[in-house]
Amino acid sequence: MTPHAIFLAGALMLTAGVLPAQERGTLAARIAASTDRVVRVSAPSREGLCGWGEGNVMQRSDYSGRWPRESSRYWDGGEQCARGPVRLVIERDDAGASRVRFFIGGRWRSDAPGTDLGDVSAADAAALLGDLVVRAPTRAAKDAMVPLTLLDGVDASHPLLRAARDSARPREVRKSAVFWLSQVAQDVVAPLGAIATDDPDAEIRKQAVFALSQRPNDEAVPALIRIADSKRDPEIRRSAIFWLGQKDDPRVVRWLEKALAP
């Protein structure tokens, strides 16, 4: 049987009721049931975002000004940083999702490949992307993280934290999840601090220290000081001290004076 025939057979099995009842009708099931290797969907983005090409996004209160006109085989943009939905492209192989591409605003090209499933809710898109973060191979899992953080009204911290804590996931997935945890608005300092001190992988601990340093000073400085004051891991303490040294904050000066006092 050819790879394409195997793929089609899998799709037919899904439509025949192999999926558990609670999963039928989900966005993931609709994508799995498609016979196309490429599926496109659009979901509401957070307020204040605009984009000007694949993977390019910024937060702006003023959308004036001209931008380089961008396009791809899937998407066309205008000459301004465009507001609009998160546009997702799910590319698949025989094993499942292999790539996730995203755009903000703009429009799909009329000759874009694959099936357009149209507009979906932010919650449905988040369920799809979150599942990719915690289950998909490295490339697709990492691809899914950024658009997950851009969806309107979605708390991206839960799947990111699950992936970050899962020692069975590839290290690169875990490191990316730790970083993107630092970029979400929800309170993630406590779980990042626990990863920084308790994770068995030293590279993940160091990434968590860096992630803490990316939080606002009122969150980052106390957390980094706690790690710097600990006695458990000299290398992680050095990392915390290094990132404290990058902070312009009087609490850091006081801590350094105390730490260096004879």
Whether residue 12 lies inside any domain: the answer is no
Res. 3: pLDDT tops 90: no
Number of structural domains (the chain) is 2
Expressed in percent and rounded to 5, the helix, strand and coil fractions of the chain are 50, 15, 35
**Is 179 in the same domain as 255?**
yes
Whether residue 27 lies inside any domain: the answer is yes
**Is 244 in the same domain as 202?**
yes
Sheet containing 96-104: give its strands across.
96-104, 86-93, 38-43, 115-119
**Is 129 in the same domain as 166?**
no
**Is 57 in the same domain as 37?**
yes
- Taking residues 57-63, report their average pLDDT: 69
pLDDT tens, 90-137?
Answer: 999 988 899 999 999 888 999 999 999 999 999 999 999 999 999 999
Range of the domain at 102: 17-152
Answer with the residue of higher pLDDT: 44 or 259: 44
**Is 134 in the same domain as 188?**
no
Q: What percent of the chain has pLDDT over 70?
A: 85
pLDDT tens, 198-235?
Answer: 999 999 999 999 999 999 999 999 999 999 999 889 99
Whether residue 172 lies inside any domain: the answer is yes
Q: Identify the sign of the CA torsion 190, 195, 198, 203.
A: negative
Selection from 202, 210, 212, 257 nearest residue 235 by Cα? 202
For residue 51, name the pLDDT band (cuts at 50, 70, 90): confident
Q: Cα 40 to the chain's mean position, in Å? A: 18
**Is 191 in the same domain as 80?**
no
**Is 126 in the same domain as 227?**
no
Residue after which a domain boundary falls, among 152, 168, 197:
152
| pTM of the predicted model over 0.95 | no
CATH number at residue 189: 1.25.10.10
Residue after which a domain boundary falls, among 104, 128, 152:
152
**Is 118 in the same domain as 245?**
no
Residue after which a domain boundary falls, among 152, 185, 209:
152
Q: Tell me the CA distances in angstroms from 211 to 27, 45, 93, one per residue in order.
A: 31, 24, 33
pLDDT tens, 175-202?
Answer: 999 999 999 877 899 999 999 999 999 9
Compute how many other C-beta atoms are within 10 angstroms of the C-beta atom of residue 40.
Answer: 22
Whether residue 7 lies inside any domain: the answer is no
Whether residue 171 lies inside any domain: the answer is yes
**Is 159 in the same domain as 126?**
no
Whether residue 3 lies inside any domain: the answer is no
106-141 burial, b at 16+ Cβ within 10 Å, e below that, comes to bebeeebebbbbeebebebbbbbbbbbbbbbeeebb
